Amino acid sequence: NAGVTQTPKFQVLKTGQSMTLQCAQDMNHEYMSWYRQDPGMGLRLIHYSVGAGITDQGEVPNGYNVSRSTTEDFPLRLLSAAPSQTSVYFCASSYNTGGYGYTFGSGTRLTVV
Amino acid sequence: AQSVTQLDSQVPVFEEAPVELRCNYSSSVSVYLFWYVQYPNQGLQLLLKYLSGSTLVKGINGFEAEFNKSQTSFHLRKPSVHISDTAEYFCAVSDQDFGNEKLTFGTGTRLTIIP
């Protein structure tokens, strides 16, 4: 079992560029989510999905898009990168039952210059 | 809406000493509670969770946590820490009524073990 796989691990973007962070899980989890981690702020929810074809916004969705065409994949798109989006991004997945707990990917460290 | 407060951003502890990392939460409904650990340059790993039943929960690596509903707290403890426990620890909460795993995290506590 690979668990949750995120690519790339590191990325440097110029302001205004777009890119997609990839996330895939092989555990047949219904629930997937994207968090960003910034110093002193913990993890903040960007977008989440409770199943294929269903997505919703989290706490900090502006500047990001998601889609969920399959159970396995949940890509995060940055539409026009800004320095404020410099962060570490984590994808996580879980069964869609209360209290199961997340499996996290190893993260993508993004720098926008 | 729920929120989580981790009162200490950094906790230095001597090796083999006990440690307590504090977590308080706020929610208008019943909750599930979690502690996650993040080792340097890694993702988060589930340490333990409280769903229901006994208020004392045991997790991996010798950690335990106690749920106190009246004080809305879920403090993490270990009786004797090791160098390998150096990491950042996150408390998280989800509403039981929400029906899925939408978690709200605290800002984290960095545990540093002093040899």
User: In this predicted model, what pLDDT tens digit does every residue of B66-106 receive, in sequence order?
Assistant: 999 999 999 999 999 999 999 999 999 988 766 556 789 99
B44 and A92 in contact by Cβ < 8 A?
A: yes
Question: pLDDT of A7-22, one tens digit each?
Answer: 999 999 999 999 999 9
CA-based nearest residue in chain B for residue A4: B43
Nearest to B46 among A50, A102, A107 (CB): A102
Please report the pLDDT score of residue A1 as a whole number. Answer: 62
Helix (H, G, I), strand (E, B) or coil at A59: coil
Please report the pLDDT score of residue B53 as a whole number. Answer: 87
- Of chain A residues 66-95, which have a CB less than 8 A from chain B? 90, 92, 94-95
Those residues with Cβ within 8 angstroms of residue B45's Cβ, 6 or more apart along the chain or in another chain: A104, B36, B37, B38, B39
CA-only gyration radius of chain B, Å: 14
Query: Which residues of chain A are modeled with pLDDT < 50?
Result: none
Please report the pLDDT score of residue B101 as a whole number. Answer: 63
Burial degree of B109 (CB within 10 A; 0-12, 13-18, 19+): buried
**Number of alpha helices (DSSP H) and beta strands (DSSP E) in chain B:** 0, 12
Burial degree of A28 (CB within 10 A; 0-12, 13-18, 19+): exposed
